[in-house]
């Protein structure tokens, strides 16, 4: 049975299970909550962030979505003494605490650009094409100690999902991000109960999303252990295989995900003992996907890894167009059809209020000065009256009588905004990220139809006789 916090999270954060700590915008921290002490803290296991320290004792048992305040723990004298051992308190999601200190919010907006750069792989596609198939490994982040000593801040405790895992996992390689994998999985029509082949598995970002797509939702107490779907992952870098295997097992996904240590260019996609995965869908995130295609035909020797009873969908993920043309050529030669290349251009819209150029006139023509608001209102009421008169004289004309009251609209806006000082909020504007950062990879899709010959036709006719 599948017992995974990714699919069946209990209502609260549990000990020895994964939780995602949402520290601030764009900053998620995956943490396995522990009841035992680590690093000698008197509080037991503690997670330190730039926005404070969180003893796990303050996180275990809180409902998902809760806001938890930081605790003061002494990081300088680990285990020897504890300054103010007061634990953090959890606030249910419905009762938000105050915003973080102003300097944090400012730091957040300054860091946003840097964070984005970290999230969008900056590696040049050409470099990836020419270089050895070893991707860049992100260096470990230095411990952030200064703000911990201040003991301020809060964060939210969230259950893990493939999306939050993608965002927060330790990137051993370039990874596939949510905008790409959501499109890939729906475009390949990956369904619960199906089998998907993935190579290379890398950091396991795509693996988690694929596991959710094939999982047929049988609850953990179901006795049916056979019919949930399957992800067969292949990776030739041994340390990455080990790390992914232990993450898959820690996440309770081992019934769904089989991680194979394999060079797929040379050794193909069969499971141990030359068993066919009988795959319905294939995702290749490899530097040279065309080299793996020879192992993905219906006549692969000794056995085909494909499901003989279904058409098979493939997607290859390549950052540069030369890789795409080489892949498309190999796909055509191997009999794949419906070859199409797509680029997902995900852009974040940054929506905020801007005060530039707005003074007393305020927002949407509404003045913040109450006297002037009353003046505007009485002017608008006059306009409304004149408009009504005008329309009344035009009975029978389409639209007549449907006067939109400008005064009512203004009163509505005023009521909606309450007593807020409108001029301080500024105009609502949005900006898009610079285009240069949007390219991740080209997605090349193709379909290999079912093999169809005399035998299949005879079987079909036996089942549904054609009366001619």
Give me the residues that bind ligand SAM (CB under 6 A), please.
133, 135, 173-176, 199-200, 202-206, 234-237, 240, 262-265, 285-287
Instruction: State which residue has the least CB distance to ligand SAM.
Output: 200
* Minimum separation from the CB atom of position 196 to ligand SAM (A): 12
* Minimum separation from the CB atom of position 137 to ligand SAM (A): 10
User: Is the separation of the CB atoms in 235 and 244 below 8 Å?
Assistant: yes
Residue closer to ligand SAM (CB basis): 200 or 229: 200
Residue 160: beta bridge partners? none
Q: What Cα–Cα distance (Å) separates residue 192 from each residue in 5, 186, 225, 229, 315?
A: 18, 12, 14, 6, 18
Rounded CA gap, 332 and 326, in Å?
Answer: 10
Residue closer to ligand SAM (CB basis): 130 or 352: 130
Rounded CA gap, 137 and 142, in Å?
Answer: 15
- In the structure encoding, which two tokens stand for residue 100, read together? 């973080």
* Minimum separation from the CB atom of position 406 to ligand SAM (A): 54
* Minimum separation from the CB atom of position 435 to ligand SAM (A): 23
Residue 197: beta bridge partners? 232, 282
Rounded CA gap, 375 and 155, in Å?
Answer: 46
The packing angle between helices 178-187 and 205-214, to 10°, is: 40
Residue closer to ligand SAM (CB basis): 134 or 467: 134
* Minimum separation from the CB atom of position 246 to ligand SAM (A): 15
Three-state secondary structure call for residue 321: helix
Residue closer to ligand SAM (CB basis): 174 or 368: 174
DSSP H helices in 30-172: 102-119, 125-130, 146-150, 162-168
- How is residue 301 annotated by DSSP? S
Residue closer to ligand SAM (CB basis): 331 or 403: 331
User: Is the separation of the CB atoms in 278 and 307 below 8 Å?
Assistant: yes
* Minimum separation from the CB atom of position 175 to ligand SAM (A): 4
Residue closer to ligand SAM (CB basis): 172 or 228: 172
Residues in the chain: 468
């Amino acid at each position: 049975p599948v017992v995974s916090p990714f699919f069946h999270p209990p209502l609260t954060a549990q000990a020895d299970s994964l939780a995602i700590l949402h520290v601030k915008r764009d900053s998620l921290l995956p943490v396995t909550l522990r009841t035992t002490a680590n690093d000698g803290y008197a509080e037991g296991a503690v997670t330190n962030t730039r926005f404070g320290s969180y003893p796990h004792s303050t996180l275990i048992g809180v409902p998902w979505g809760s806001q938890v305040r930081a605790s003061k723990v002494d990081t300088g004298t680990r285990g020897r003494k504890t300054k103010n051992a007061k634990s953090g308190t959890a606030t249910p999601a419905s009762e938000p605490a105050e915003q973080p200190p102003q300097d944090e919010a400012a730091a957040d907006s300054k860091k946003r650009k840097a964070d984005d750069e970290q999230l969008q792989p900056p590696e040049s596609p050409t470099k990836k094409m020419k270089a050895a198939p070893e991707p860049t490994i992100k260096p470990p982040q230095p411990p952030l100690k200064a703000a911990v000593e201040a003991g301020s801040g809060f964060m939210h405790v969230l259950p893990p999902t493939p999306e939050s895992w993608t965002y927060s996992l330790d990137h051993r390689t370039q990874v596939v991000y949510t905008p790409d994998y959501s499109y890939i999985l729906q475009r390949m029509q990956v369904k619960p109960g199906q089998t998907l082949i993935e190579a290379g598995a890398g950091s396991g970002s795509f693996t988690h999303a694929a596991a959710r797509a094939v999982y047929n939702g049988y609850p953990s107490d179901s006795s049916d252990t056979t019919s949930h779907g399957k992800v067969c992952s292949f990776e030739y870098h041994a340390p990455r295989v080990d790390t992914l295997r232990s993450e898959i097992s820690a996440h309770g996904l081992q019934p769904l995900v089989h991680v194979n240590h394999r060079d797929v260019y040379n050794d193909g996609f069969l499971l141990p003992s030359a068993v066919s995965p009988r795959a319905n869908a294939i995702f290749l995130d490899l530097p040279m996907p065309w080299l793996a295609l020879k192992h993905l035909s219906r006549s692969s020797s000794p056995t085909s890894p494909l499901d003989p009873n279904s058409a098979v969908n493939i997607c290859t993920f390549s950052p540069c167009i030369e890789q795409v043309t080489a892949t498309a050529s190999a796909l055509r030669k191997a009999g794949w059809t419906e070859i199409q290349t797509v680029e997902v251009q995900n852009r974040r819209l940054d929506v905020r209020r801007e005060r530039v150029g707005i003074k007393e006139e305020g927002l949407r023509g509404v003045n913040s000065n109450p006297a002037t608001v009353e003046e505007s209102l009485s002017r608008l009421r006059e306009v409304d009256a004149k408009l009504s008169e005008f329309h009344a004289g035009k009975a029978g004309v389409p639209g007549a009588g449907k006067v939109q009251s400008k005064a009512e609209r203004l009163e509505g806006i005023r009521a909606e905004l309450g007593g807020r000082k409108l001029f301080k909020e500024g105009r609502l504007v949005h900006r898009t990220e610079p285009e240069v950062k949007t390219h991740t990879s080209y997605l090349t899709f193709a379909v290999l139809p079912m093999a169809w010959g005399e035998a299949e036709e005879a079987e079909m006719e036996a089942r549904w006789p054609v009366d001619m």
